[in-house]
Amino acid sequence: MKRVVVAGASLAGLRAAQTLRAEGFAGELVLVGAESHLPYDRPPLSKKQLTDALPVSATDLPVPGDLDATWILGTRADGLDAYGRTVRLSDGRDLPYDGLVIATGAAACVPAALLPLPSGVHTLRTREDAASLRVDLRPGRRAVVVGGGFLGSEIAAAARACGLDVTLVVPESRPLVRQVGSAAGEFITRLHDSAGIRVLPGYRVKALVGGRRLTAVGLDDGTELAADIAVLALGAVPNVAWLAGSGIALAGGVRCDERLRVLSIDGTPMPGVVAAGDVAVVPHPHPPNSDSRSASRAAVYDGNRSSLGHWSNAVEQAAVAARTLVHGDAARPLTAIPSFWCDLHGITLRGVGLPASADEERTLERNLVDRTLEVTYHREGRFVGAVAIGRNSRIAAHRRVLAEAELARV
Partner 1 sequence: MMRITVDMNLCESHGQCVFAAPDVFAFDDDDYLVYEAEPSDARLDEVRTAAAMCPVRAIGILGTLGAAA
CB nearer to partner 1: pick between 154 and 228: 154
Q: Does 311 bind partner 1 (CB under 8 A)?
A: yes
* 361 DSSP β-pair partners: 377
The correct pick among 244, 364, 396, 410 for binding partner 1 (CB under 8 A) is 396
Range 63-102, binding partner 1 (CB under 8 A): 64
Q: Does 134 bind partner 1 (CB under 8 A)?
A: no
The correct pick among 251, 283, 390, 405 for binding partner 1 (CB under 8 A) is 390
Contact 324, 333 (CB under 8 A): no
The correct pick among 195, 237, 403, 405 for binding partner 1 (CB under 8 A) is 403
Whether the upstream peptide bond of residue 116 has omega within 30° of 0, thus cis, is yes
CA torsion angle for 147, 151, 156, 157 (degrees, to 10)?
A: 150
Question: Residue 105 and residue 240: Cα distance in Å, rounded?
Answer: 9
Contact 151, 159 (CB under 8 A): no
The correct pick among 9, 15, 158, 160 for binding partner 1 (CB under 8 A) is 15
Q: Does 400 bind partner 1 (CB under 8 A)?
A: yes
Question: Residue 48 and residue 58: Cα distance in Å, rounded?
Answer: 10
The correct pick among 35, 136, 154, 316 for binding partner 1 (CB under 8 A) is 316
- Considering the complex, what minimum distance in angstroms separates the CB of residue 18 from partner 1? 8
- Considering the complex, what minimum distance in angstroms separates the CB of residue 229 from partner 1? 28
The correct pick among 312, 347, 363, 405 for binding partner 1 (CB under 8 A) is 312
Q: Does 395 bind partner 1 (CB under 8 A)?
A: yes
CB nearer to partner 1: pick between 232 and 387: 387
Question: Residue 261 and residue 352: Cα distance in Å, rounded?
Answer: 25
Question: Residue 29 and residue 193: Cα distance in Å, rounded?
Answer: 50
The order of strands in the sheet holding 360-367 is: 339-344, 347-353, 382-389, 372-379, 360-367
Taking CB under 8 A as the binding criterion, the range among 252-260, 276-284, 358-366, 389-397 that sits at the site for partner 1 is: 389-397
- Considering the complex, what minimum distance in angstroms separates the CB of residue 401 from partner 1? 12
* Alpha-carbon distances of 382 from 121, 376, 385, rounded to whole Å: 43, 11, 9
Contact 146, 232 (CB under 8 A): yes
Cβ count near 106 (within 10 Å): 18
Binding flags for partner 1, 18-57, as an x/- string (CB under 8 A): x---x------------------x-x--------------
CB nearer to partner 1: pick between 85 and 399: 399
Taking CB under 8 A as the binding criterion, the range among 31-39, 172-180, 223-231, 393-401 that sits at the site for partner 1 is: 393-401
CB nearer to partner 1: pick between 248 and 349: 349
- Considering the complex, what minimum distance in angstroms separates the CB of residue 117 from partner 1? 31
CB nearer to partner 1: pick between 47 and 142: 47
Start-to-end CA distance of the chain, whole Å, equals 30
CB nearer to partner 1: pick between 189 and 313: 313
Question: Residue 331 and residue 265: Cα distance in Å, rounded?
Answer: 23
Q: Which residues touch 251 (CB under 8 Å, ≥6 apart)?
A: 281, 304
Range 327-356, binding partner 1 (CB under 8 A): 337, 339, 341, 348, 350, 352
CB nearer to partner 1: pick between 90 and 312: 312
Q: Which of 401, 396, 180 is nearest to 308 (CA)?
A: 180
Question: Residue 156 and residue 5: Cα distance in Å, rounded?
Answer: 38
- Considering the complex, what minimum distance in angstroms separates the CB of residue 313 from partner 1? 11
Collapse the DSSP code of 247 into the 3-class scheme (helix H, G, I; strand E, B; otherwise coil) and give the result: coil
Q: Does 228 bind partner 1 (CB under 8 A)?
A: no
CB nearer to partner 1: pick between 177 and 319: 319
Question: Residue 399 and residue 394: Cα distance in Å, rounded?
Answer: 8
Number of residues that bind partner 1 (CB under 8 A): 27
Q: Which residues bind partner 1 (CB under 8 A)?
A: 15, 18, 22, 41, 43, 62, 64, 311-312, 315-316, 319, 337, 339, 341, 348, 350, 352, 390-393, 395-396, 399-400, 403
